[in-house]
């Protein structure tokens, strides 16, 4: 959870305007986690290579897998809407 003040002034009753963000992890929301998906390709390459050098990305992950991971991110981040 992240909480931070929006205004510096505190009213006479010691109240202050704040903004807060809470992250809730559930199976329903996991599919919408664009932050997790934007690193999916990097994570997959790291897991498969153990952070060792490789000649070509195609040696590690197929074009079909790359497209699927990329399309998942685009769908969740709503980038596919801009392409229409």
- Exposure of 37 by Cβ count < 10 A (0-12 exposed, 13-18 middle, 19+ buried)? buried
| pLDDT score recorded for residue 21 | 78
pLDDT in tens, 51-71: 899 999 899 999 999 888 888
Weakly modelled stretches of the chain, pLDDT under 50: none
Q: Which two tokens stand for residue 48?
A: 């498969």
CA distance 37 to 26: 15
Please report which helix (H) or strand (E) contains residue 20, including its range: strand 18-21
| pLDDT score recorded for residue 43 | 86
Boundaries of every domain in the chain: 2-81
Q: Which two tokens stand for residue 81?
A: 């809407």
């Amino acid at each position: 959870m992240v909480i931070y003040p929006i205004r510096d002034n505190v009213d006479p009753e010691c109240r202050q305007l704040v903004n807060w963000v809470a992250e809730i992890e559930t199976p329903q929301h996991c599919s919408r986690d664009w932050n997790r998906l934007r690193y999916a390709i990097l994570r997959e390459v790291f897991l498969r290579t153990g952070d060792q050098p490789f000649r070509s990305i195609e040696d590690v992950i197929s074009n079909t897998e790359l497209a699927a991971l990329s399309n998942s991110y685009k769908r969740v981040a709503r980038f596919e809407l801009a392409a229409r």
